[in-house]
Structure 1
Amino acid sequence: MEFLEPLYDKAESLWIGFVKILPLLGIALITLFITWIFAKVLSGLLKRSLSRSNIRRSLVELFGTLLKTVIWLVGGLLAITIIFPSLTPAKLLTALGLGSVAVGLAFKDIFENFFAGILILLRKPMRIGDFIECEGVNGKVEHISIRETYLRKTDDQLVLIPNSFLFKNPVSVLTDKDLRRFDIIVGVAYGEDIDKARSIIEESMKAIDVVEQDKPIEVYAREFNSSSIDFTVRWWSESSPLGMHKSRDKVVTAIKAALDNENIEIPFPYRTLTFKEPLSIKHHSG
């Protein structure tokens, strides 16, 4: 059994080394526990103090997250130097600097989304609760984290979008202001009086409660369509998607009723069919 002696000696030396390092492990765990307490308490105090000011909630979350990250970074470095006394903070920082290129390449997307998230949180126009649209994706901003943004669509689906996607592409903030302009197209028959039709449409819009009357209501003749003269009708209403649907419903209903009351025709498309050869009509006797 002599061949087992080297293994026994190795196991014994590992066990002795582990026993010697146990106190250091205990101190390191205590350090991490104190770090956790400090991170929780200080970030909570920071969030409460910032919440009393006019700073946006997304920025409060950002500053709280950054403070936690710094505290955990310092606490982690202290715990490592306690377990391995030969590793000084200077050596650890040097090692982190040498490995930063490899880490940066390995976690490129994560870092990209991290910094994009910080810049998005600092960017004032997009707030929690806003409805936004970006490259065909739209919804209400529910939460902006360091890595991704949570959008709640109008059908209640949740969409998680990487922050770098929102930062690189144009973003339309639909609810940046309380009011937004909407438009529809209304067609009247060629035989109708254009000025009269325009006047009727304008008057019908003035009686709609969801249409902002302090903003201009615009009706413009826009083109000769195949079977109608088309008008562009513009108005201002609540900027949310629900506000758009409500105002559009009432506008279409009011214009239709007003034109019907004045016997102004809203035509449907006409089609004329031509045939190369004359068509023969056959009479069937009873």
Structure 2
Amino acid sequence: MNPLLDRIQTSLLDLVGQFIQLLPGIVIGLVVLLLTRYAAQVAQRVVRKMTQRLVPSRSLQLLAVQVTRIGTWVLGFIIAAVVAFPDLRLGDVIGLLGLGSVAIGFAFQDIFKNFLAGILLLVEEPFRLGDQVMMCDYEGTVEAIKIRSTQLRTYTGEMVEIPNAIVFTNPVRVLTAYRSRRTDLDIGVDYTTPLPLAKQTFLAVVSRAEGVLSDPAPEVDVVGFGDSSIDFKVRYWTTPHIGDVRRIKSQVSMALKAACDEAGISIPYPIRTVHMFDQTQFNESERLTNSADVRDGAR
């Protein structure tokens, strides 16, 4: 047992000695990582200022900043590993990173999928920061496009984070992609109303409403005959932001109601006609009894 204990003791002393020899390098490596954190912050600020001057797209500015941060940290880790383990050559580090990337890729494939989708979203720019969009049953303003997810602020003040892979592979409605947006407003009039009068009245109201664009011009069309009204559809264009759309729609609705009152145009309630009649005339059992009595009398 003594030779075995001596061998274990010798091995432990060797490990302790190697650790003591590596300790300065490990400490320096930790210092390098701390400096890397500071360097990443400085590099992000520098790249942000440069891209703001040279690159007009906010999405590409964000992409450049995020790539700079990741690249700085990767470089810092490589330097720290080489300093902490002097026998480890740069080629060995790159080889380990290559082998590790395969294993990490299988383990974190969803994360890398979102990462690549985030880069494609920032490069292709199907929507931009500040756009109002509808995606994955959510509607709101795009607050940030990160490497992993897209942040959406709903109109009720809630923050929603949607993975970039889902955003990239699903339809997205960009409500502020163009300078104007159309609103369709339904209104019905009584069947006794002269239709040309109603159309001219509605068109005049919507044309002079504040916030309604003259190009494209507003339209008023008869779209159908309802149960109790002749249905019109008023179409007009406004700036695309939801706040303007809602405010102008409210103003146009109130103006249409006031114009109908002034012109004597009736907006009818749903009408139901109820016919009352004497049920005894349709009493089947009494009719059958009377018929039987007549037959018996004839016999």
Q: Residue 132 of structure 2 aligns with which residue?
A: 131
- Cα distance 1:214–1:279, how it changes in 2: closer, same or farther (>3 A)? farther
The structure with the larger Rg is 2
1:22-48 CA-partner distances (Å, limit 9, x unpaired): 122133234334433443333322211
Q: Residue 184 of structure 2 aligns with which residue?
A: 183
- Contact 1:227 1:268 (8 Å CA) reproduced: yes
Q: Residue 204 of structure 2 aligns with which residue?
A: 203
Q: How far apart, in 1, do the equivalents of 2:158 and 2:196 lie? A: 46
| Superposed displacement of residue 188, structure 1 | 0.9
Q: What pairs up with 1:73-84 in 2 under 5 angstroms?
A: 73-84=74-85
- Cα distance 1:274–1:102, how it changes in 2: closer, same or farther (>3 A)? farther
Q: Which runs of 5+ in 1 are unaligned?
A: 281-286
Give the TM-score normalised by the residue count of structure 1.
Answer: 0.88
Q: Residue 101 of structure 2 aligns with which residue?
A: 100
**Is 1:212 paired with 2:213?**
yes
Aligned-pair identity in percent equals 35
- Contact 2:144 2:150 (8 Å CA) reproduced: yes
User: 2:279 aligns to what SS in structure 1?
Assistant: coil
Q: How far apart, in 1, do the equivalents of 2:280 and 2:272 lie? A: 18
1:243 partner amino acid: D
* Higher mean C-alpha deviation, range 87-96 or range 263-272: 87-96
- Contact 2:59 2:125 (8 Å CA) reproduced: no
- Cα distance 1:8–1:277, how it changes in 2: closer, same or farther (>3 A)? farther
Q: How far apart, in 1, do the equivalents of 2:7 and 2:136 lie? A: 66
Aligned residues: 280
Q: How far apart, in 2, do the equivalents of 1:55 and 1:37 lie? A: 27
Q: How far apart, in 2, do the equivalents of 1:126 and 1:85 lie? A: 48
Q: Which runs of 5+ in 2 are unaligned?
A: 282-299
Give the TM-score normalised by the residue count of structure 2.
Answer: 0.84
| Superposed displacement of residue 177, structure 1 | 2.8
| Superposed displacement of residue 67, structure 1 | 1.6
CA-based RMSD: 2.5
- Cα distance 1:106–1:265, how it changes in 2: closer, same or farther (>3 A)? same
Q: How far apart, in 2, do the equivalents of 1:275 and 1:8 lie? A: 110
Q: Residue 265 of structure 1 aligns with which residue?
A: 266
Q: What pairs up with 1:60-79 in 2 under 5 angstroms?
A: 60-79=61-80
2:221 partner amino acid: Y
- Contact 2:184 2:233 (8 Å CA) reproduced: yes
Q: How far apart, in 2, do the equivalents of 1:62 and 1:54 lie? A: 11
Q: How far apart, in 2, do the equivalents of 1:245 and 1:78 lie? A: 56
